[in-house]
Every structure is written in C-alpha cells, then in structure tokens.
Amino acid sequence: MKTLKSHMKKYGLRVRDVSQMTGIPIRTVNAHLYGERQIGAKSALLYADGLGISLEQIIKDRVA
C-alpha cells in the first residue's frame, strides 16, 4: 500500500508503531504493506483514524 508506506517513511514510523496506533496486529500490517492481504473496510477505518490518513486515499490505493 503506497499511502501507508509513504506515511510511515514521512513520520519515521515502524510497523510496531503503526500497529500500536491503529490496533491492527503487526502481522496484518506487514501483510498489507507487502500486498499479501487486501485492506478491508474495518482496517481502512483503523488506519484512517489511527494515523490520520485520508480514508479516500486508502480506498484509492486499494482499487489501484
């Protein structure tokens, strides 16, 4: 997921940080980052709320 990767790089976040901020398990965050799993609606909302990423951008990444 391009948006998540760039957000992590911009703010110096590690997978563990993202997991703690969103409540999404580390293994799932990794799976999303490496394209092993698609981001579902619940995870998209958690990323948006926990990291301040636009839900619209997350959805666009998922569709692209």
Domain count, the chain: 1
CATH code, 10: 1.10.260.40
Three-state SS at 38 = coil
d(CA 14, CA 26): 10
pLDDT digits (tens, 9 = 90+) for 2-57: 999 999 999 999 999 999 999 999 999 999 999 999 999 999 999 999 999 999 99
d(CA 48, CA 56): 9
Largest CA distance in the chain: 27
Find tokens 């398990």 and name the residue: 25
Domain extent for 43: 2-63
